[in-house]
Structure 1
């Protein structure tokens, strides 16, 4: 069993307590955040902006930071790009040890990227409340690289890369088999080793996400891959799967955007996702500052200075800052409406020359913007809780004790309260909009297209487990809350709006 002090953000006492996957994940995220802040100082500036904006929002509501759920200040999402099926398979194992599972399938061919992937994240109510860390994880699909010679070159380079150190692979196997031990709990492991395996596991894992300013290929190879697709170059030419952004969550993304601009950060022109000005936030809104142009040394075996092999200096653009505001999870019906209105806005922008934010505001006027309508129309998932417990006969249809009751009647009577369930996942077009604005160019011109079988099944075969459906997960959370209300109120059934 893993034993360690709980991280300060989730520590309730000074007593030693077993660290489960949730606590392990939190410790990992905190160290990852520290590393990324050192590598990308603007990330630290962005976090400071978010904290300032959130404090202002809370003050305007006469609230203090303690009124926010624990998860809010901890919450981050990252994004990585992998090169091979083996890397994806190993990454799924690593995330599983930290309580993260593949949720949602994303085929980025729709926006011209030769990638597909999933989001690894917690799925249970308890784990999401503790720390909802999520990583949008994509893997290169060589069959989508248009040039056969570039495809062969990329596969050859990646076949020699080892993201996972032998020690990390050993620790992962140990974690899966018997669990890791920490020096904090005392004692030795099965092999007589008194080292801190938990800390070693985290430090070895962090190395996968670290930026390296030295490429594994010559500049000419890098440029060849870059011409084919910027993401191909980013994936293939470096020794790690460097995390390309680490995203905090804010209460007011429009205010963060304004503050980024005021401070001179190279902010994206518009915010991705639903339009501004809604009273009831849905899904996900994201913005970013543009990717950094970072110095890189490229391996050049033919260049010799002072009798030794030297590298050639160049630059690479990949990592950027991002911030998000999360709204409510929508049902299948709600998502279909969202997608239709988004497509209408995109057509309006392309055919009528309208600004995207203007087009979104116009088309999304059709999307209801009050919680009662969103709930009654079945557009948003809700979590239900009992507020009071009158006699069951007073609640049930026809006055029969233990029978069915309508959720609307229970809410109207003040017996049950509800709140929208937070959307924990991603929007492909929003993610692609962020990526494209940071990498530059139009990937759709250089990505091979065409059908290639069941791509979701292909990814599941690589991971070795099913990719969970996000809508079904939200539906399950809603149903679980309804069933809990039924048990507490002694009712056989509570009927939701049709």
Structure 2
């Protein structure tokens, strides 16, 4: 069975399991579907663009999940599990910038063909006990984590078989998905005492979530919407309480990167080791995302600088917790960020795919790619951003761990240690987007007989 098909089996099984575990997730999916349908009806040009880019068919299956693992060994073996499904580590994210003791990567498909078939992603964070000031508690947490095995013996056998044989048969794949699902299932039985849980919780609620259970239960599954502002309003109308602000850039004519919102986490009953009475744990939540175009290094630098200016703005500091003040300030600063697909492409701020226009006819040698675009012989389509934003991810985490402010923190990145635990280097997401753009441009120019433009553009 093709890894893309195994990934589809897994993502559907995960969605079904999560819908049963988190009742509001089903309500959220219904809301997102309604908003997407209404958005496409109201914007026929958007529908045409999505269809032409192969984005429309994947919209309903678009999901990303998030998990947190506790040890280098767990991260190493999770990588092996995801590889069976054609998901590979892309990007390094330092969430210590928001005071969260984890660093992360995104396991996802990397080729355009695989993304079109099923773009399922798992944002995976590794606990950093080295950031815990209480060293006695850190050692206790390490001992607790050393006792658990998050992947079943049968799943390990099937992972090894896939590695040895270059994949799994259809029957093996179905058994693999069933076994893999158990790694991410919610378990209400804690593996620690109430006293230990309290100490972990006091150190950081996220540490308690990682250390206190049998495995890395799925924290959230995230559908993709075409209008996150409508979803934010719709949640309130349905009695679902969203976080105060939408993380990421403001609403724009040409969406960039990623906008995210969420609703508050569930408070779930748990039973502590050696205790009969139940306690409470809060971790899992609902999240929604709207994806825009992937930005180039130049565009990303401008985005990061603009967002940093927002967070330094006295208006934000003086009105902490005021969603309207933050949104207003966000729009003010981002007004200087070029908008519109043509502007983003012309200024080299975003990545695009290039295709020959239907019934295209261009005689002679063009002097630029712009000339081909103007003559409507060439079409530039924005590449969807397939990855994540560390500040936005941290904002979502914070809001569901009890704080929704935007105070800054000093990061303590350690990519080399993360990759050592992973057992491989993470892929550079910028290189993936750039390669795809270059390959699509080269193919289109060769079809139009304008190969000379690719050489000159590449040299420039």
TM range (shorter): over 0.9
Are positions 1:95 and 2:65 aligned together? no
2:16, 2:360 → 1: CA distance? Answer: 47
Please state how far the C-alpha of 1:487 moved relative to its aligned partner: 2.2
Number of residue equivalences: 445
Could you give the per-residue CA deviations for residues 397-421 of structure 1, whole angstroms, max 9, x where no partner exists?
4xxxxxxxx1001111111011110
Q: Which runs of structure 2 are paired with 1:375-386 in the superposition (5 Å)?
A: 375-386=345-356
Alignment partner of 1:343 out of 300, 308, 326: 308
Are positions 1:254 and 2:219 aligned together? no
User: Which 4+ stretches in 1 moved above 6 angstroms?
Assistant: 63-66, 442-445
Alignment partner of 2:427 out of 454, 460, 468: 468
Q: Which runs of structure 2 are paired with 1:312-327 in the superposition (5 Å)?
A: 312-327=277-292
Could you give the per-residue CA deviations for residues 199-241 of structure 1, whole angstroms, max 9, x where no partner exists?
1100110001100011011111101100000110000000010
Q: Give 1:49's aligned residue.
A: 31
1:437, 1:352 → 2: CA distance? Answer: 19
For the 8 Å contact 2:244–2:404, the answer to whether it is kept is: no
Could you give the per-residue CA deviations for residues 153-207 of structure 1, whole angstroms, max 9, x where no partner exists?
100100001001111111100011115554x6xxxxxxxxxxx321110011000
Could you give the per-residue CA deviations for residues 416-461 of structure 1, whole angstroms, max 9, x where no partner exists?
011110000001111111110101149999x9x886xx71111111
Q: Which runs of structure 2 are paired with 1:399-478 in the superposition (5 Å)?
A: 406-441=368-403, 455-478=414-437
- For structure 2, the 5+ residue unaligned runs are none
Could you give the per-residue CA deviations for residues 283-335 of structure 1, whole angstroms, max 9, x where no partner exists?
000000000100111112xxxxxxxxx53310000000000000000011111
1:359, 1:79 → 2: CA distance? Answer: 30
Normalising by structure 2, we get a TM-score of 0.92
For the 8 Å contact 2:161–2:168, the answer to whether it is kept is: no
Are positions 1:238 and 2:213 aligned together? yes
Alignment partner of 2:448 out of 477, 480, 489: 489
Alignment partner of 1:226 out of 201, 209, 214: 201
Q: Give 1:328's aligned residue.
A: 293
Cα distance, 1:411–1:327 mapped onto 2, change above 3 Å: same
Q: Give 1:305's aligned residue.
A: none
Please state how far the C-alpha of 1:492 moved relative to its aligned partner: 2.9
Cα distance, 1:466–1:181 mapped onto 2, change above 3 Å: closer
Alignment partner of 1:273 out of 248, 251, 270: 248
Deviates more, 1:458-467 or 1:317-326: 458-467
2:164, 2:249 → 1: CA distance? Answer: 44
Please state how far the C-alpha of 1:493 moved relative to its aligned partner: 2.7
For the 8 Å contact 1:395–1:410, the answer to whether it is kept is: no
For the 8 Å contact 1:284–1:426, the answer to whether it is kept is: yes
For the 8 Å contact 2:259–2:291, the answer to whether it is kept is: yes
Alignment partner of 2:263 out of 289, 310, 334: 289
Cα distance, 1:444–1:350 mapped onto 2, change above 3 Å: closer
Please state how far the C-alpha of 1:383 moved relative to its aligned partner: 0.5
2:184, 2:372 → 1: CA distance? Answer: 49
1:233, 1:443 → 2: CA distance? Answer: 21
Please state how far the C-alpha of 1:391 moved relative to its aligned partner: 5.7
For the 8 Å contact 1:111–1:443, the answer to whether it is kept is: no
For the 8 Å contact 1:229–1:443, the answer to whether it is kept is: no
For the 8 Å contact 2:87–2:121, the answer to whether it is kept is: yes
Larger radius of gyration: 1
1:245, 1:286 → 2: CA distance? Answer: 13
1:457, 1:167 → 2: CA distance? Answer: 31
1:225, 1:289 → 2: CA distance? Answer: 24
Q: CA RMSD in A?
A: 2.2
For the 8 Å contact 2:316–2:329, the answer to whether it is kept is: no
Q: Give 1:9's aligned residue.
A: none
Are positions 1:25 and 2:7 aligned together? yes
1:154, 1:330 → 2: CA distance? Answer: 39
Alignment partner of 1:374 out of 344, 347, 355: 344
